[in-house]
Amino acid sequence: MPIGMAYVPWQHWHEIYDIEKGFRVGTIFPDLNKPYMGRRFYK
């Protein structure tokens, strides 16, 4: 019985960030650049 399975889509190299922006945002693929946009909840 498998513990779990992973799905990892293949990344296409048609558009990538330059080295400085890649280090700044944490990825060279624009499709994976999803910055955390947390929201505050008020009572």
Domain boundaries, given as residue ranges, for the chain: 1-43
Give φ, ψ of 22 to 5 degrees.
-60, -45
Alpha-carbon distance 40 to 34, whole Å? 18
- The answer to whether the CB of 29 falls within 8 A of the CB of 11 is yes
pLDDT band at 31 (very low <50, low <70, confident <90, very high): confident
Alpha-carbon distance 41 to 33, whole Å? 25
| pLDDT of 32 higher than 70 | yes
pLDDT digits (tens, 9 = 90+) for 3-21: 899 998 887 788 999 999 9
